[in-house]
Amino acid sequence: MTPAPGQPRPAKPSVPSRRTVLQAGSLVLLLGAQQIARGATIVAVRVWPAPEYSRVTIESDGQLTTKQLFVTTPPRLAVDIEGIDLSPELRELVAKVKADDPNIAGIRVGQNTPGVVRLVIDLKQAAMPQVFTLTPVAAYGHRLVLDLYPAQPVDPLEALIAERLRDAPAAPAVATAPAGTRAGAAPHATASPSAETDPLGELMTQRATRALPPEAPPAVVTATAPAPAQPTTPPARSTGSSRASTQQTDRIIIVALDPGHGGEDPGAIGPAGTREKDVVLRVAHLLRDRINATTVGGNPMRAYLTRDGDYFVPLGTRVEKARRVQADLFVSIHADAFTTPAARGASVFALSQGGASSTAARWLANKENQADLVGGLNVQSKDQHVQRALLDMSTTAQINDSLKLGTVLLGEIGNVGKLHKPRVEQAGFAVLKAPDIPSVLVETAFISNPEEEARLRSSAYQVQLADALMRGITRYFAKNPPLARSRSV
């Protein structure tokens, strides 16, 4: 169209030059590449110290790519995280290391090169680190996990012995001496110390003896002198009366307590924010104190905790620990949860080699067996294959004894609170599959029920629960004395 006379000719639209187009395109490509390389954002960092291992977790909204190098002298782990810049969340790691962390001396973090953050973990001792990633599960996004295991692993049996000697330095001479050597213990003289020795007790006695003054050794020699008197007496494997079995069993009775969940795995969370892992650990500590102060038929009892702090322990490792200390019982402590707040009451479960005893029992077993996914199990670890094989070795005798234990525990818990079911239920709980230890899982209450959550938070009710469990354990041993077996250390 030709403009009217006197009107300005309209300006032609500007056409970008070829150079401008190329520059703009390059800028888009560069920004896109950078966005891809640095797409992950750190959302949280956590440090979980424990004697067995210390864990560092870095949670992000996308998968992280890493390269790591372990230096032995001085021991330290260097990890390069690619595609991210140093953020305030990563800087928080420095302050999260506690002075009493058994494994980590400190953490240093910095921008090594553009797009690469270097994390250096200085260690207190030689270590065997494991670095792996976890895909999103439950409330967690992607996780980069750095596990720092001591090069010399913590032995559960050694830990149990050290704890006993620390808490009761005078006790081993009484609790673990051969039959007939204690003051007032003459009725036990008919047992056969040589045939049914307890290496666990003997090892504790030896360690205590090393700490005694020079004049102490003659007393030890005198204590073991009666052994040759009855060299031909067979091992005490009798199924006779409770009294006879008790007399033939002169050793420490060990009860493995297993507080559920821990560390990355909080367990069930109540409406008011109460975490299952915290409640069950407090109940386990109370029960431990009661067990350690109790004797059965003159035999001292000792509790062993599969976790004694807020850290993750795989299900198979919990079973392994109980077997290592040769526990006489295994009691896993939990707090139940359901999709509706109306569910309430305590339950006790034993293992089932076949199908579950109810749909609810099957559902709960499946939920509890997923704890390794939330807690963060390194599925590439060689140890896990050994633990998985262990889970197929349970016996009918173990299940029968577990049902006996569960029945008395359920009866005592019913005296202090409401029961969800009046009988012991059964399902395929992975943590109950020790082939040679009577094992039960106790759901103390429904933490998803507001009223029961409030009770679980109460110190008074926690004491009642611990007392009830202690009475049940004592009643079980009164009817089913532990075998007078020899422990292999």
**Residue 345, CA distances (Å) to 85, 140, 236, 316, 417 in order:** 50, 29, 41, 28, 7
Q: Is the pLDDT of residue 269 over 50?
A: yes
Q: Which pLDDT score is estimated for 454?
A: 97
- How far is 145 from 132, CA to CA, in rounded Å? 5
Q: Name the residue among 231, 226, 206, 228 with its Cα closest to residue 217.
A: 206
Instruction: Tell me the two tokens of residue 385.
Output: 């294959």
Mean predicted confidence (pLDDT) in 71-83: 96
Query: Mapped to the 3 state alphabet, what secondary structure does the chain carry?
Result: CCCCCCCCCCCCCCCCCHHHHHHHHHHHHHHHHHHHHCCCCEEEEEEECCCCCEEEEEEECCCCEEEEEEECCCCEEEEEEECCCCCHHHHHHHHHCCCCCCCEEEEEEEEEECCEEEEEEEECCCEEEEEEEECCECCECEEEEEEEEECCCCCHHHHHHHHHHHHCCCCHHHHCCCCCCCCCCHHHHHCCCCCCCCHHHHHHHHHHHHCCCCCCHHHHHHHHCCHHHCCCCCCCCCCCCHHHHHHHCCCCEEEEEEECCECCECCCECCCCCEHHHHHHHHHHHHHHHHHCCEECCEEEEEEECCCCCCCCCHHHHHHHHHHCCCCEEEEEEEECCCCCCCCCEEEEEECCCCCCCHHHHHHHHHHHCHHHHHCCCCCCHHHHHHHHHCCCCCHHHHHHHHHHHHHHHHHHCCCCCECCCCCEEECCHHHCCCCCCEEEEEEEECCCHHHHHHHHCHHHHHHHHHHHHHHHHHHHHHCCCCCCCCCC
- Pairwise CA distance, residues 139 & 10, whole Å: 61
Q: Rg of the chain's alpha carbons, rounded to an integer?
A: 30
Mean pLDDT, the chain, integer: 79
Lowest mean pLDDT segment, chosen from 127-136, 371-380, 430-439: 371-380
Greater pLDDT, 222 or 408: 408
Q: What pLDDT is stored for residue 307 in this prediction?
A: 96
pLDDT at position 190, please?
33
Model confidence pLDDT, tens digit, residues 327-340: 999 999 999 999 89
Q: pLDDT tens digit string along 166-204?
A: 775 444 333 333 333 333 333 333 333 333 444 455 555
30-51 pLDDT, tens digit each: 444 444 445 689 999 999 999 9
The mean pLDDT value for 413-423 works out to: 95
Q: Residue 217: what residue type? A: P
98 — pLDDT class (breaks 50, 70, 90) = very high
Neighbouring CB atoms inside 10 A of 125's CB total 12
State residue 26's pLDDT score.
52
Question: Is there a contact between 349 and 284 (Cβ–Cβ < 8 Å)?
Answer: no
For residue 172, the cross-strand partners are none
Mean pLDDT over 94-112 rounds to 97
Q: Which residue has the higher pLDDT, 158 or 45?
A: 45
Q: How far apart are CA 350 and CA 373, in angstroms?
A: 22
pLDDT tens digits, residue range 107-147? Answer: 999 999 999 999 999 999 999 999 999 999 999 999 999 99
**Residue 370: pLDDT band by 50, 70, 90 thresholds?**
confident
Scan for tokens 């559902």, then name that residue.
363
pLDDT of residue 2: 56
* Sheet strand arrangement including 425-427: 295-296, 299-305, 253-259, 329-336, 439-446, 347-351, 425-427
Query: Residues 180, 138: contact at Cβ < 8 Å?
Result: no
Q: b vs e for 22-56, b when ≥16 Cβ sit within 10 Å of the residue's Cβ?
A: eeeeeeeeeeeeeeeeeebebeebbbbbbebbbbb
Mean pLDDT calculated for residue range 417-437: 92
What does pTM read for this prediction?
Answer: 0.75
Residue 218, pLDDT above cutoff 80: no
Stretch 85-95: mean pLDDT: 96
